[in-house]
């Protein structure tokens, strides 16, 4: 038997004309897919699949429905065979392990880490909110305390302002004091004697004024049984009546139907060094004002009560005139002066007069 012809590279040469064509079964062939008799098939190179041949359809005439035999590969002489994909879908090259894709494990870990981070951030924010609430509460309490403290301070400032106003009102101002007091002070004429009288307290039962003067000013009329005196101021003259006298303390109570503003009496005794003014009609000269200070408290020479010593100048005619402090309040009734000396005047404390006569 003649060996098969080979072409370049040792592969079988194509069949001669009229010979059976590889890839097609012989007419009246045997087992499907088996090569024709009389032809030897060379083994295919390893791992190099043959390209797909032409498959006849089952409906073609004279072509049995059988699995085709792959045609031998074709390539140019002197070149290695080109790699190609698998002959059929789903097949792989011999010797290659199938690739199995495994699911990555970083995604669950990342999700867990993100959840932990969110929990941590939420906890930090909750703590910060708690701290801020505490600080806000502390701030509100501090604000309330500060407002209360400021309120106390404001009350203290207002109280201090009131005290300063009162002190300002008690600043010694002889001009202002005289302007307020003079309208209530008169020259009193009692027979041949003259002195000073001043309205005090509230109006009497008849709607008129109550007045104080010295007993020694009206003594001659009182001892003679006379009771009428006259109050004079500038060109005005008002009749008045002697109601009651206190010989021991040298005080007399007068009453008139005329309406005058009564002076306010001091609730507390004066102190040494306190400034005063004395208003009167020395030598008959009305509306006279002198100033001075309280020197001391003395005992009266005639055995009476205490007297106020002051250094404001007074003269005959000042007897019965009011001694006024810086608050425009009566503190005493001028009654006498030292003989052969200046700057030593005496006054009956207003409390003594008010205790003896219920008119203050």
On whether residue 241 sits in a domain, the answer given is yes
Q: Are 214 and 250 in contact (CB under 8 A)?
A: yes
Q: What is the pLDDT of residue 344?
A: 93
CA distance 68 to 45: 19
pLDDT band at 212 (very low <50, low <70, confident <90, very high): very high
pLDDT band at 53 (very low <50, low <70, confident <90, very high): very low
Instruction: Give the CA distances from residue 29 to residues 62, 70, 225, in Å, rounded to whole numbers and listed in that order.
Output: 11, 17, 190
Q: What is the pLDDT of residue 104?
A: 61
Q: What is the pLDDT of residue 220?
A: 95
Residue 294 has pLDDT above 80, yes or no: yes
- Here the CATH number for the domain that contains residue 343 is 2.40.10.120
On whether residue 148 sits in a domain, the answer given is no
On whether residue 238 sits in a domain, the answer given is yes
User: What are 128-165's pLDDT values in tens digits?
Assistant: 999 998 888 889 888 888 888 888 878 888 887 777 76
**334: containing domain:** 174-356
On whether residue 330 sits in a domain, the answer given is yes
Domains of the chain: total: 1
| Number of other CB atoms surrounding residue 290 within 10 Å | 21
DSSP 165-231: HHHHHTS--HHHHHHHHGGGEEEEEETTEEEEEEEESS--TTSSEEEEE-HHHHHHHHHHT--EEEE
On whether residue 340 sits in a domain, the answer given is yes
The chain-wide mean pLDDT, for the chain, equals 79
User: What are 321-344's pLDDT values in tens digits?
Assistant: 999 999 999 999 999 998 888 889
On whether residue 167 sits in a domain, the answer given is no
On whether residue 68 sits in a domain, the answer given is no
On whether residue 303 sits in a domain, the answer given is yes
């Amino acid at each position: 038997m003649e060996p098969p012809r080979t072409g370049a590279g040792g592969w079988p040469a194509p069949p001669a004309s009229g010979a059976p064509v590889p890839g097609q079964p012989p007419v009246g062939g045997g087992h499907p897919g088996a090569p024709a008799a009389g032809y030897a098939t060379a083994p295919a190179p390893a791992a190099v699949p043959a390209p797909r041949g032409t498959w006849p359809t089952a409906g073609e005439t004279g072509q049995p429905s059988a699995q085709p035999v792959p045609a031998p590969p074709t390539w140019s002489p002197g070149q290695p065979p080109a790699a190609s994909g698998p002959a059929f879908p789903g097949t792989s090259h011999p010797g290659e392990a199938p690739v199995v894709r495994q699911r990555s494990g970083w995604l669950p870990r990342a999700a867990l880490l993100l959840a932990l981070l969110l929990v941590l951030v939420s906890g930090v924010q909750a703590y910060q909110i708690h701290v801020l609430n505490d600080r806000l509460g502390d701030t509100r309490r501090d604000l309330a305390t500060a407002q209360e403290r400021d309120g106390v301070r404001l009350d203290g400032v207002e109280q201090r302002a009131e005290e300063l106003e009162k002190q300002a009102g008690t600043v010694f101002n002889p001009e202002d004091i005289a302007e307020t007091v003079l309208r209530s002070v008169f020259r009193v004429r009692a027979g041949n004697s003259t002195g000073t009288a001043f309205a005090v307290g509230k109006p009497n039962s008849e709607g008129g004024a109550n007045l104080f003067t010295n007993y020694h000013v009206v003594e001659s009329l009182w001892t003679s049984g006379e009771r009428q005196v006259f109050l004079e101021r500038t060109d005005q003259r008002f009749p008045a009546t002697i109601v009651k006298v206190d010989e021991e303390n040298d005080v007399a109570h007068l009453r008139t139907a005329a309406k005058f503003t009564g002076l306010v009496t001091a609730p507390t005794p004066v102190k040494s060094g306190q400034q005063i003014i004395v208003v009167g009609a020395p030598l008959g000269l009305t509306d006279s004002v002198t100033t001075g200070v309280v020197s001391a408290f003395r005992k009266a020479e005639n055995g009476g009560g205490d007297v106020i010593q002051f250094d404001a100048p007074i003269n005959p005619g000042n007897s019965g005139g009011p001694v006024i402090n810086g608050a425009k309040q009566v503190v005493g009734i001028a009654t006498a002066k030292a003989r052969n000396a200046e700057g030593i005047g005496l006054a009956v404390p207003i409390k003594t007069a008010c205790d003896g006569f219920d008119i203050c």
